[in-house]
Structure 1
Amino acid sequence: MPLPAADISLPEKTYAAFLFDMDGTILNSIESAERVWGRWAAKMGFDVEAFLPTMHGKRGIDTISALNLPGIDPAAEAEGILRGEIEDVEGVVPIPGAVEFLSALPPERWAIVTSSPIELAKVRLAAAGIPQPRYMVTAEDVTVGKPNPQGYILGSERLGVSPSEVLVFEDVLAGIQAGEAAGADVMVITATHSHPIETGHSKIPGYLDVVPHISQDGRLSIRRRA
């Protein structure tokens, strides 16, 4: 059954390219990530329930560094968490309709921009049944992670377009802020939200009720499925 119009708001513009965050935007890895991060947070003596919402959408090393934990090496801790996430992909699934939506796009007109390291990104994409794209920006490619816009600026450069000509697909505040700071338009994916994000940006719950449209001049847009 098609979703109510209130659940979907689409931009009226056309774009040169699309840039997609990965976790929570084209695939759902919440169960896996929260299992691994939850064990780490419990080991550190944190309130696990309060901590978990703070780590989504950012590089692991940035999350740990921001905690300023005495006697803790953020790089070593982030590496340990990464190993755990790579080994645990149980429950990683595509966002509904994402595989079909991405496969309908010209491969040279879209990219993934993720806070995940490349090894983890490849494992999660494979677990979700999403082919690896031609272009991908991962944690290793930037010196500062989201909400810094560096990743989305680099993604635009790799596609040969200006960030102002791009639509960024995101699901968390840090990523939304990164897209905004890059000068791109933002589409918010709400499929995995347990609490609504207050946003004036376009939004869709997933990809089942929308399709990409490619105009005669090659510009991209999104339309409701007929």
Structure 2
Amino acid sequence: MPVTLRSNIAYRAFLFDMDGTLLNSIAAAERIWTRWALRHGVDVAAFLPTIHGVRAIDTIARQHLPGVDAQAEAEQITREEIEDVEGVVQVPGAQAFLNSLPPERWAIVTSAPMALALRRMEAAGIPRPLVMVTAEDVSDGKPNPACYRLAAERLQVTPQECLVFEDAEAGIRAGEAAEADVLVVTATHTHPVVTLHPQIKDYLGLGLEVDEAGLMRLTPLS
């Protein structure tokens, strides 16, 4: 499995994106964003691939729609997403893998607002970490690296000591810009991912070793 390419590297912390990385919320998100696109005359097929991994306000602002208040529209999208978590499920093995981690050594770094993140995590059975960085915590969302830098700071480590788990291009670029190592999770991808980073499909074959200094290494489960 590709992850073995970095099984000799130890990390002080793991930083996880949420949607597409720890849980699959594509069905719910695309239902809601499809309605939004239709209301505003936006081409659905071209638009939907752009919504993943970035903040709702940034997605809306990029459309440059005249007379549209991106902040108000994003707040309405969030309300709809909080109400609709049908089909939100964990990426296979995610819950068990997170529960195996030292609690002070991992964080969730998501483009979702806190209320939505907690709602989806509850629906998917994803445990809440001690540190979360959400849409409200940064002025510039992914691919800006501020979110990953902030998570590392809150965990009292440097980004270079972290491994970022990501699935979307914007998040991968944010992890790279933060100077962290990146591992790409492909569970929700329907096509092969072209990347120089190692990949895992899900967490079912992923193990963990923690040494006496608390450093973490990924290992394939036999």
TM-score range, shorter chain: over 0.9
Q: CA deviation at 1:195?
A: 2.3
Counterpart Cα distance in 1 of 2:150 and 2:192: 29
SS for the counterpart of 1:167 is strand
Q: Deviations over 1:129-170 (max 9, x none)?
A: 112111100000000000000000000000000000000000
Mapping for residues 140-179 of structure 1, pairs under 5 Å: 140-179=136-175
Mapped pair 1:103 → 2:120: no
Whichever residue aligns with residue 182 of structure 2, its letter is V
Q: Do the aligned partners of 1:9 and 1:203 also contact (CA within 8 Å) in 2?
A: no
TM-score by length of structure 2 reads 0.97
- Return the alpha-carbon distance in structure 1 between the equivalents of residues 30 and 4 of structure 2: 30
Q: CA RMSD in A?
A: 1.0
Give 5+ residue unaligned stretches, structure 1.
none
Deviations 1:73-100 (A, max 9, x none): 0001111111110000000000000000
CA displacement at 1:50 relative to structure 2: 1.4
- Correspondence list, 1:127-142, <5 A: 127-142=123-138
Given that 1:117 and 1:140 are in contact with CA atoms closer than 8 Å, whether structure 2 keeps it comes out as yes
**Structure 2 residue aligned with 1:53, among 44, 49, 52?**
49
Alpha-carbon spacing, 1:132–1:41, altered in 2? closer, same or farther (3 Å): same
- Percent of matched pairs sharing the same residue: 59
Q: What CA distance in whole angstroms lies between the structure 2 residues aligned with 1:76 and 1:97?
A: 36
In 1: Cα distance, 2:163 partner to 2:186 partner? 16
Amino acid corresponding to residue 20 of structure 1 in structure 2? F
Rounded Cα–Cα distance in structure 1 between residues aligned with 2:142 and 2:83:
24
Instruction: Look up the SS of the partner of 1:68 in the other structure.
Output: coil
1:45 is displaced (CA, Å) by 1.2
Residue 196 of structure 1: CA displacement? 2.3
Residue type of the partner of 1:108? E
1:114 and 2:110 matched: yes
Give the residue type in structure 1 aligned to 2:108. Answer: I
Runs of at least 5 residues in structure 2 that lack an aligned partner in the other structure: none
**Partner in structure 2 of residue 24 of structure 1:** 20
The number of equivalent residue pairs is 221
Q: Is the 8 A contact 1:10 1:223 kept in 2?
A: no
Q: How far has the Cα of 1:213 moved from its partner?
A: 1.5
Structure 2 Cα separation of the partners of residues 9 and 158 of structure 1: 28
Q: Is the 8 A contact 2:4 2:220 kept in 1?
A: no
